[in-house]
Amino acid sequence: MRELRRSARQLWVVLALLFVVMAGAVFFYLFTESERSGIEWTVVDCMYMAVLTLTTIGFEEVHPLSQTGRLFTTAFAITGLALVALAVRTAATLLVGQQLSAGVQRRRRLRALKEMRDHYIVCGYGRMGQETVHQLRRRGLPVVVIEQDPEAIEQLQEMDVPCVEGNATQDEHLDAAGVERARSLIAAVATDEDNLFIVMSARVLNPSLYIVARASREETVNKLQRAGANSVHSPYVGGGRDLAYAAVEPGVVHFLEQVLHQEAFDVDFRSVPLPDDSPVLGKPMLGSGVMQEGGAMVLAVLSKDNELRTNPRPNTTVNQGDTLIAMGTREQIAQLEQAVRG
């Protein structure tokens, strides 16, 4: 990229020099040559003479030249030809370099996609997909986007976000995004029908994949769940709930907005699954290191049967298959994860 930028700057400099030389020739013929030859040159005559000389067409002189005019025209022709040759060479170098750079970047992106593991695949880079990618990257999570809009692909490449150009409903594009190695897939394209196809294809390609889908219509929620989606969200239903809750509990909504969406606010919610050999199993949360002064706050315990125990007490014990729902800074969450792993 540095070489390409240097070539582009050089091309602009050469073109500017050509413009200056052409302007100088026009002024010479218009004023100096008119005075020395005694023939009045018009602006059109000057421009025509300059173009004939620079392009080496050489039909004939517009007007008979004086001795000074011939010497100037000779110098102008040599200088102009050298600048034209340099401009052509620089433009060719820039064009070839761009093609090579595009090929290198394409191969690098393909290699990076093949090496990705436990990543998140976002299907669709519309308004919802953009916010999804932003939130995942804010948490430092690896993301791959499947999108077929060229402008969106160009935007993703400028942001250095791995992406696959294509239709997410097709298996080959899901394979290219590494669906068999992914941790989760988010189907957020515009139509429910496409999201349904994406969920079905992804579930077949990776039976253990955690799939989140968007549903524009409420009647599509059950279909997406039966197709294999682990979680289905409707932006209209969820948005209506958020609006109502914001009217009733504005303080709580403001707190959640700060925690979930403000990058400068180093607090986050996190689910921490307990390993089967975790040393905290069967022990009170306070004495096992799960609850500690200055540590993450455990808001709830989710059992493997999806039973939720909120606001657990210090003497609450956790069992195999439980997941802790915690809130804290990145450092506090890391300490909690270390405690449950032993």
Q: What is the pLDDT along the chain (342 residues), one digit of tens a residue?
A: 566 677 778 888 888 988 998 999 888 988 888 888 888 888 898 888 888 888 777 667 788 888 888 888 889 888 988 888 888 888 877 776 666 555 556 667 767 788 888 999 999 999 899 999 998 998 889 999 999 999 998 898 888 889 999 999 999 999 999 999 999 999 999 899 999 999 999 999 999 999 999 998 888 889 999 999 999 998 877 777 778 877 888 887 777 777 666 666 677 788 888 888 888 888 888 877 788 777 888 888 888 888 888 888 888 888 888 898 888 888 888 888 888 887
Name 235's bridge partners.
Answer: none
Name the phi and psi angles at 324, rounded to 5. -90, 135
Nearest to 87 by CA among 8, 173, 201: 8
Looking at domain 117-233, its CATH class is alpha beta
Name every residue whose Cβ is closer than 8 Å to that of residue 191 and which is 6 or more positions away in sequence.
216
State how far Cα 220 lies from the chain centre. 30
What is the 8-class DSSP label of residue 214?
E
Q: Are strands 210-214 and 143-147 parallel, antiparallel or unpaired?
A: unpaired
User: What does the alpha-carbon distance between residue 340 and residue 342 come to, in Å, rounded to a whole number?
Assistant: 5
Helices (runs of H) and strands (runs of E) counted in the chain: 13, 10
Report the CATH fold assignment for 2-111: Helix Hairpins (1.10.287)
Domain boundary assignment for the chain:
2-111, 117-233, 266-341
Report the CATH fold assignment for 266-341: Alpha-Beta Plaits (3.30.70)
SS3 label, residue 215: coil
State how far Cα 54 lies from the chain centre. 45
